[in-house]
Amino acid sequence: MGVPFYSRALQKKLLEVSKGKQKIKLVFGPRQSGKSTLLHHHIVNSGNTMVVNLQDRRQRRRYEVDDGLLIRELEAEQKVRAVFIDEIQKVPALLDDVQYLYDRKPDLYRFYLTGSSARQLKRRSANLLPGRVHNLLLPPVMQAEQRDSVLMPVGMPTGRRFPRRRIEDYLIYGNLPGLYHESRGSWNETLSSYAELYIENEIRQENIVNNIAAFQKFLKLAALESGRFVNFTKLARAIGVAVNTLRNFYQVLEDTYVGIHIFPFAGGRKRITKAARFLFFDLGVRHVLAELPLDSSLLALDAGGIFEQWVLAELYYRCRFHGRNYRLSTWRTASGAEVDAILETPGELIPIEIKWTDSPSRTDARHVETFMDLNERKSKRGYVICRAPRKQKLTDRTTVLPWDIF
């Protein structure tokens, strides 16, 4: 029996037909988030597709040394109607060929490109196909892809969904899609290998940073600090690098889709702190990079903090799925009021508190209520996400959402 294919929310956007000219689809995302699997299932298996796998060193070398090779190959293939280029950042010059082919006959080919590092494209001043491309992001498996959700549902296509797990499994092992095809006994090794390959393939081989030793030290400390407000001065001192170097290290994590910044809420009248929070894209990878044990002792030490990171990453990826008019921010005032997450949608602001408790009280909603009071024109409802078994009303405006339906 073959490996099952689980549906992803992104496939709707991947397969949709644009009005007017067909757009080039550029799918970014961290390594092992399922980009190649998704494209192979929906594009390659449909036939009449040319596949250029730039992970293959021999293929990569051919396109590096022979300008215009892709154009000549396609001109010789009369039946090809779709082109799939995997890990486009490996040979950014191919983007010029894609643009030439697209501009010459926009409806002749459907182009699908993937990448796991925007940094390589930026560093090499690559042609990012302005006006011709739809940029898409494929994260690890979202909760909204496994079950129906109250907040920003993604409207899953028909097909098999990733099986659900216990909350403890999500918090300890994260949500890389590959784990769903493995036995539990191999999860630790898979996550450890991911961390090693990230350093070796994305950082060392691509020569992204000059001081690899300092970067590896940074990775551990950044992972340990994940979920907290970033203090650049303190962390730079601990690593022994300049603050600007530290900022560059964080940017590397964002550009390779391993890191997420959640910035402070920009509206309102009350003075707020300007520090951002930083998260790793997947908890299992975060724990390995922080050199923490992948077992239940993690939750005994910091269940609340880990649960908060898990919910924040989920909400962040739902916002990214819904587009630029959706944003996740955080809110903390100089006087000490704090709300873990603010969902900024085109029509409203939704404050959300995240608690590990299974018995929430009205006290847990106090800062949610404060935020709504200060932003009463756009903020009419708030939530507390926790481990309560059922939804409940804490106040007239604040509702409890259990972790498995939020």
Mean pLDDT in the chain? Answer: 92
Mean pLDDT confidence for 79-92: 94
pLDDT at 197 over 80: yes
- In the prediction, which pLDDT does 333 show? 87
User: In the chain, count of helices (H) and strands (E)?
Assistant: 14, 13
| pLDDT per position as a tens digit, 360-370 | 999 999 999 99
* CA-closest candidate to residue 145, choices 155, 135, 137: 155
Distance separating alpha carbons of residues 145 and 346, to the nearest angstrom:
23
- In the prediction, which pLDDT does 125 show? 58
* Local structure of 242: helix, strand or coil: coil
- In the prediction, which pLDDT does 222 show? 96
Amino acid at 201: N
Using the structure block, give the residue that is written with the tokens 């340990």: 224
Q: Which residues pair with 349 in a beta bridge?
A: 344
11-138: what fold?
Rossmann fold (3.40.50)
- Judge whether 235 and 149 are in contact, CB under 8 Å: no
Using the structure block, give the residue that is written with the tokens 């993604």: 154
* CA-closest candidate to residue 221, choices 246, 245, 202, 196: 246
- In the prediction, which pLDDT does 403 show? 98
Q: Specify the pTM.
A: 0.94
DSSP string, 322-359: H-TT-EEEEEEBTTS-EEEEEEE-SS-EEEEEE---SS
Would you kindly state where each structural domain of the chain is located, as residue ranges? Answer: 11-138, 144-247+282-309
* CA-closest candidate to residue 342, choices 305, 369, 382: 382
CB atoms within 10 A of CB 308: 22
- In the prediction, which pLDDT does 196 show? 87
- In the prediction, which pLDDT does 270 show? 62
| pLDDT per position as a tens digit, 213-265 | 999 999 999 999 999 999 999 999 999 999 999 999 999 999 999 999 999 99
Residue 336's pLDDT band, with cuts at 50, 70 and 90, is confident
Mean pLDDT confidence for 17-26: 77
Amino acid at 73: E
| pLDDT per position as a tens digit, 256-309 | 999 999 999 987 666 567 789 999 999 999 999 999 999 999 999 999 999 999
Mean pLDDT confidence for 191-212: 80
- Among 11-20, 41-50, 230-239, 389-398, which is the least confidently predicted range? 11-20
Structure tokens at 250: 């964080």
* Residue 387 φ then ψ, to 5°: -100, 20
- Judge whether 312 and 281 are in contact, CB under 8 Å: no
Mean pLDDT confidence for 334-357: 95
- In the prediction, which pLDDT does 206 show? 64
**24: exposed, middle or buried (C-beta count within 10 Å: 0-12, 13-18, 19+)?**
buried
Distance separating alpha carbons of residues 229 and 105, to the nearest angstrom:
49
Distance separating alpha carbons of residues 4 and 162, to the nearest angstrom:
10
